[in-house]
């Protein structure tokens, strides 16, 4: 296998990880939230924070590296056309994802505190969850759009 093929495999796997963990994390956090059980929310949020740290963060780092290398090897200009649009969407994703990670940590901590004190979830938990939910839509839509751009490679 040549370098281009290896980079392409790594890039596609990274995109799959971003899309898959994004969808999985959203599903599990939403299901835990709907149960309104602080212990379940705390447990789920612990796993979600770990998954974001291990899988999502690794893919976030590798995607621009493998993408830039692929663009260079294929002779595509990096900051124009579909690649330029992908980079803009990648920044949008990051601007949504970074607060979401912080919110997930806070949701976990608030749920752990509710468990420790045998109290209901505080109103702050619900406010933060609404922000988490809202920020997830543009982030997921941007990642999905990037995958479509990678596959379709439209001419602009």
For 29-43, what is each residue's pLDDT tens digit?
999 999 999 999 999
- Percentage with pLDDT > 70 across the chain: 100
Q: What is the pLDDT of residue 156?
A: 85
CA 132 to each of CA 7, 31, 50, 81, 89: distance values in angstroms, whole numbers, following the listed order? 33, 14, 17, 31, 19
For 113-150, what is each residue's pLDDT tens digit?
999 999 999 999 999 999 999 999 999 999 999 999 99
State the residue range of the domain holding 127.
Answer: 3-152
Query: What is the number of structural domains in the chain?
Result: 1
The pTM assigned to this predicted structure is: 0.91
Q: What is the pLDDT of residue 66?
A: 98
Average pLDDT over the chain reads 96
For 97-122, what is each residue's pLDDT tens digit?
999 999 999 999 999 999 999 999 99
């Amino acid at each position: 296998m040549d370098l281009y093929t290896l980079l392409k495999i790594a890039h596609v796997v990274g995109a799959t990880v971003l899309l898959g963990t994004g969808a999985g994390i959203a599903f599990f956090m939403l299901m835990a939230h709907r149960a309104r059980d602080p212990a379940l929310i705390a447990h789920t949020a612990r796993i979600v924070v770990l998954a974001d740290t291990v899988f999502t963060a690794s893919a976030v780092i590798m995607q621009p590296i493998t993408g830039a290398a692929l663009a260079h090897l294929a002779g595509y200009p990096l900051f124009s056309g579909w690649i330029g649009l992908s980079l803009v969407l990648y920044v949008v994703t990051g601007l949504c994802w970074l607060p979401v990670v912080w919110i997930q940590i806070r949701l976990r901590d608030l749920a752990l505190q509710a468990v420790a004190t045998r109290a209901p979830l505080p109103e702050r938990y619900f406010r933060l969850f609404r922000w988490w939910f809202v920020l997830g839509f543009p982030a997921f839509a941007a990642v999905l759009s990037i995958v479509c751009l990678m596959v379709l490679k439209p001419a602009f």
